Amino acid sequence: MGDLFSYSLSDFVVYSAPTLFAMTEDMNRALYPLLILLAVLFAVMAWLGWRKSRHFIPVALFGHALMCCLVAWLYFGDYYASLDWAAVYYSRLFYALTVLLAISALWQWRSRSGLSDFRPSLLLGVVYALTALFILPILGWYDGRSLTETALPGLTPHAIMLSLTGVLLLSDNYLLKMLLLGPLIWGGVTLISSWPLGLLQGQVVLPLVILAIITTIVSRIAYKSHRALRIYRPR
């Protein structure tokens, strides 16, 4: 135990922000053809969501499983691993999410559950997806990233965790929402390094996931009381 207390949080930040940005630039340069695949994936998810298709949730879950796998394998398993010994643990978290999301996708495909009918959840879900795609890169620019150093949605962890949070908010299945634990863990972990480095991009994940969890709890309470009212309302 004494060993543990001999560290402070800042001890675990072993690189500087410019080094992280340069690493992202290297990764973007090597992996940019993957962007075409990811753009198609995002377009399919957006189209199914727009049409309120019953396939939206399972396809979105499967898409996120795929992206989590890419992040675990390429981002944490290769590029980020050259900077931080903790990458191996993050990689495990993303592999675990890959498996859970893939199983959930199959389950949702069969159970055919649909979109939430709690309006705030729906609204927030869409906002989170848009934030992941458009606002996060802008925050990165505010943090000091150049265009070539942009943390690309689909290949970097923060955006995936936010868009996954959005998808889980959109779903009407409460058991599925347990998966919010993944983004919650990542939000906490990434705050440890983003805070001392002063990187806003990483600092917004945790508060946004917590807001999503609160919204989910509120929607559950609203749903239950609505049902209770229906059941016990005198005829």
Partner 1 sequence: MGPLNRRAFLQLSSSVLVSGAVNAAIPAVSPLQKAIPSSGELIPVIGMGSWITFNVGNSVTQRKARSQVLDEFFNAGGRVIDSSPMYGSAEDVLGYCLHELDRQQDAFATTKVWTSSTQQGRVQFEDSKRLWQLPRFSVYLVHNLNNWRGHLPYLQELKQSGQIKYLGLSTSHGRRHSDVEDILNTQLIDFVQLTYNAADREVEQRLLPLAQEKGVAVMVNRPFQTGRLINRVKRELFPEWGAAMGCDNWPELLLKFVISHPAVNCAIPATSQVEHMRENMGANYGRLLADYERKRIADAIRDL
Q: How far is C-alpha 75 from the chain's CA centre?
A: 15
Residues at the interface with partner 1 (CB under 8 A): 2-3, 5-8, 10-11, 13-16, 19, 22-23, 26, 79, 82-85
Contact 74, 27 (CB under 8 A): yes
Smallest gap, in angstroms, from Cβ of residue 42 to partner 1? 28
Instruction: For partner 1, give the closer residue by CB, 19 or 111.
Output: 19
Smallest gap, in angstroms, from Cβ of residue 38 to partner 1? 23
Query: How many CA atoms within 13 Å lie on the side-chain side of 179?
Result: 30
Smallest gap, in angstroms, from Cβ of residue 26 to partner 1? 6
Smallest gap, in angstroms, from Cβ of residue 70 to partner 1? 19
Residue of 126, 161, 158 lying closest to 145 (CA atoms): 158
Smallest gap, in angstroms, from Cβ of residue 5 to partner 1? 7
Instruction: For partner 1, give the closer residue by CB, 195 or 223.
Output: 195
Instruction: For partner 1, give the closer residue by CB, 74 or 97.
Output: 74
Smallest gap, in angstroms, from Cβ of residue 33 to partner 1? 20
Instruction: For partner 1, give the closer residue by CB, 26 or 172.
Output: 26
Rounded CA separation 176/150 (Å)? 31
Cβ neighbour number for residue 112 with a 10 Å cutoff: 10
DSSP code, position 155? T
Instruction: For partner 1, give the closer residue by CB, 22 or 34.
Output: 22
Contact 178, 54 (CB under 8 A): no
Cβ neighbour number for residue 109 with a 10 Å cutoff: 16
Single-letter amino acid code for the residue at 45: M
Smallest gap, in angstroms, from Cβ of residue 84 to partner 1? 5
Instruction: For partner 1, give the closer residue by CB, 1 or 231.
Output: 1
Rounded CA separation 133/46 (Å)? 11
Single-letter amino acid code for the residue at 1: M
Instruction: For partner 1, give the closer residue by CB, 62 or 80.
Output: 80
DSSP code, position 82? G
Cβ neighbour number for residue 3 with a 10 Å cutoff: 6
